[in-house]
Structure 1
Amino acid sequence: MGDPMRIRAQAKDGNVLVRILMSHEMESGQRKDASGKIVPAWWIQEVTAKLNDKQVFSCEWGPAVSKNPFLEFTVKGGKAGDKVSVSWKDSKGDTRTDEATVS
């Protein structure tokens, strides 16, 4: 499991802007190490986000997404004090979930 995600959620005009920086190596399976062996593929496959335990966002990624990916989206109907929860699952089966409070 990677380091904690850095999540910022800001309310403005009835919407919540969510910004997430995920810590993950995101190997495509095409790179070689110093000895010439292929580095095995390993990437985040699924990302889901919830606002107050209601799913508001989901996506599926492939090996072309960059290392330590950044994700940003807007949710309608949120307010300061709400809870945003973000989860991911990678190609090795590892998962991570982190939360933030909307400011």
Structure 2
Amino acid sequence: MANTIKIRARVSGDTTTVKALISHPMETGLRKNSKTGEKIPAHFIQEVVCEHKGDAVLTAQWGPAISKNPYLSFRFKGAAKGDTLTLRWVDNKGESDSIETQIA
């Protein structure tokens, strides 16, 4: 998968707010194909990590209960305008994506 993450990070005072939208099917493995009746294989994000200056500011362990195209928003302290932020994910099939952005 390529270009699956849209991200925005803004600093206000000493707090940085990060908002990200990840394009991913997030299949549980329990749904059935309406035409064939066969189960759709599980395909979901297992881990999301956000790093600032090489340190993880967020590590999330996800599973099949997360909705399709998940939206993630969180805040952390210690960043400055212009710093680089990296967000990456890995799913249960070994697929992954990452993106870097400058904090505004």
User: Aligned residue for 1:66?
Assistant: 67
User: Aligned residue for 2:43?
Assistant: 42
Instruction: Calculate the TM-score normalised by the size of structure 2.
Output: 0.95
User: Aligned residue for 1:3?
Assistant: 3
Moved over 3 A (4+): none
User: Aligned residue for 2:24?
Assistant: 24
1:32 counterpart letter in structure 2: K
Give SS of 1:18's match.
strand
Number of corresponding residues: 103
Instruction: Calculate the TM-score normalised by the size of structure 1.
Output: 0.95
Deviation string for 1:13-36 (max 9, x for gaps)?
111100010010000011111211
Show structure 2 runs of 5+ residues with no match: none
1:3 is displaced (CA, Å) by: 3.1
Q: Distance in 1 between matches of 2:71 and 2:9?
A: 14
Q: Say what the alpha-carbon RMSD is for the aligned residues.
A: 0.9
Give SS of 2:66's match.
coil
Q: Distance in 2 between matches of 1:95 and 1:2?
A: 9
Contact 1:2 1:24 in 2 (8 A): no
Q: Distance in 2 between matches of 1:102 and 1:36?
A: 47
Give SS of 1:20's match.
strand
Contact 2:17 2:74 in 1 (8 A): yes
1:43 is displaced (CA, Å) by: 0.1
User: Aligned residue for 1:93?
Assistant: 94
Contact 1:84 1:102 in 2 (8 A): yes
Q: Percent identity?
A: 39
Say if 2:6 is the partner of 1:12.
Answer: no
